[in-house]
């Protein structure tokens, strides 16, 4: 399984990378904003998962999500928002725009594994 992490925090990208690797993912790309992520997506044939922060400079996660979901070539890529946005209206907005899951920061690594499991991305994982 190949993943991309999009978050403006280097520390958060590092933590997410570690958790993903522990769960059998290859982190194929990282980006610190949506525009950078779009450019990097063009270089990858297929990614299984994108972990995406909402609040980033240049292009935020919601804008990136909308752009990704416009492209047929990325229709099968799972997208999980991993963000501090806690408003129900924002969660609904992200899910309506095509997010597959939503995880609120701060979180424990088991919560991320549970979400990956719910999305069918972890074989043999029992929550």
Ranges of each domain in the chain: 2-118
Q: How far apart are CA 104 and CA 88, in angstroms?
A: 11
CA distances from 2 to 23, 26, 94, 120 (A): 11, 5, 22, 14
Residue with structure tokens 């570690």? 18
pLDDT for residue 124: 54
Q: How far apart are CA 46 and CA 83, in angstroms?
A: 24
Q: What is the pTM of this model?
A: 0.93
Mean pLDDT per 10-residue segment, the chain (127 residues): 96 97 95 95 90 95 96 94 92 96 95 94 62
Q: What is the CATH number of domain 2-118?
A: 3.40.50.2300
Cβ neighbourhood burial of 116 (10 Å; 0-12, 13-18, 19+): buried
């Amino acid at each position: 399984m190949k993943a991309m992490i999009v978050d403006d925090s280097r520390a958060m990208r590092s933590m997410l990378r570690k958790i993903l690797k522990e769960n059998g993912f290859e982190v194929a790309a990282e980006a610190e904003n949506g525009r950078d992520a779009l450019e990097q997506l063009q270089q990858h044939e297929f990614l299984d998962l994108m972990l995406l922060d909402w609040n980033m400079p240049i292009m935020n996660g919601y804008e990136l999500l909308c752009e990704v979901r416009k492209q047929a070539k990325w229709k099968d890529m799972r997208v999980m928002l991993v963000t501090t946005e806690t408003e129900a209206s924002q969660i609904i907005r992200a899910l309506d725009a095509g997010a597959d899951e939503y995880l609120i920061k701060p979180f424990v690594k088991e919560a991320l594994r549970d979400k990956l499991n719910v999305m069918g991305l972890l074989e043999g994982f029992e929550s």
